[in-house]
Amino acid sequence: MKTICLHPTIEDSILKWFAARTTPAVFLVGPPGVGKTTLAYRVMEKMNMRVSEFNASHTRSGACFRKIILPLLQRGGVIHMMETGSSEKGGLGVILDEIDGLSSGEKGGLQSLLAYLREWKPTNPGVPVIFISNTIQQRMLQMISRYCLTFKVGNADEGQIRTLLGKDVPPQWKTLAGGDLRPLLRGEYSEAHGEVDEDSLINIPEGVVPLAKWCLYSEMDPFLTLELENNDSNLAGLVIAENIPDRLECVKGDTREAWDLYLKMFKCIQESDYADYWAFFYQTWRLLALSQDVKLNTINLFLSKYAPFVGSPPAEDIRYTPVLTKQSALFNAWKMLCEISDTQGVPIRLTPSALIMSANIEAASGGGGKKQDKKKKVDSMSFSVV
């Protein structure tokens, strides 16, 4: 597929890197939609490479990284010569997208990746790889960037965009889109749609917390599709869940009606989390879009209908408690509760009691062992069953 060079300076630098690799990888960092993945494909196709792309949010654990991605990165030497007939051009190239979706922690994907970068040697360079991330806020990502040829990818070159479109760049896109090329290519700013009223365009806030605040206190179009990375939608959903009590209290007060509304929304969030559980542990990725719709659009629609907020959102920052990823105790506890709920056929909130009862029955029958260990694990979690 023929593409336009949207970032000429960065592309030239990456092509020079291919000619003489002095770092183990290229790292492209920038907001969604500015052309990072297109840039990665362009340079690899120019080098006549067969591209293997992985979405890191789908292979996030350290085990997945070590079993699937690491063996590809370590290919080189004789295998590379057999594939290409030379040691310089062609062969396999790897694109690892959404690298911020890799889990952290002692045995997480980011830690495994960092270990690979530290052990890399130019005498045995392995397969060329390009990492892609929307942000570089995590400390682990910042450490990884130091081992890579890192570029901050901003807005595409306007002259190249003009070449791509075959006409001038719409001023509304330059003002409102934040460099995101996707709505531009979909024709959302084209003259065929008539004169664009800037006040009528939906300006979706950037960042997890602003997005969550927008969902909580504004009335969204229920048919709006939010094109978000899975990590961003999940984090926004967590922030929304944390602030729903405050949101209801400011409209309904400390009342039974507010509590009943909260329980209904909590049920929606629970179902969304359950969809995430199935998506990641059974690899049914189609559930992720549905889960995002429930976390954001459905909650906003519910609040707009049953607890409409009048006036301007509160000026102060909303609650935001940073959470860990797969290695966190809370995540592992939730995973175990889901497994028990599935096998025992009980609601999530009753799983600690069900597990303790099962362990007591097993102990009484003389088969303590592992069941007793699980009972101790549940006791240590200090769950309160309501």
- pLDDT tens per residue, range 231-248: 788 888 888 999 999 999
Domain boundaries, the chain: 8-152, 205-327, 329-381
Model confidence pLDDT, tens digit, residues 158-214: 888 888 888 888 888 877 777 888 777 767 776 544 444 444 445 667 778 888 999
Answering whether pTM is above 0.75, one says no
Contacts (Cβ under 8 Å, ≥6 apart) of 163? 4
List residues bridging with 151 in a β-sheet: 28
Res 83: pLDDT? 42
Model confidence pLDDT, tens digit, residues 66-114: 666 677 676 544 344 344 434 345 678 888 888 877 666 555 677 878 8
Res 385: pLDDT? 39
CATH code for residues 8-152: 3.40.50.300
152-157 CB contacts, 8 Å cutoff, 24+ apart = 152/29, 152/30, 153/7, 153/10, 153/28, 153/29, 153/30, 153/34, 153/35, 153/36, 153/39, 154/30, 154/34, 154/179, 155/34, 155/179, 156/6, 156/7, 156/34, 156/35, 156/181, 157/6, 157/7, 157/8
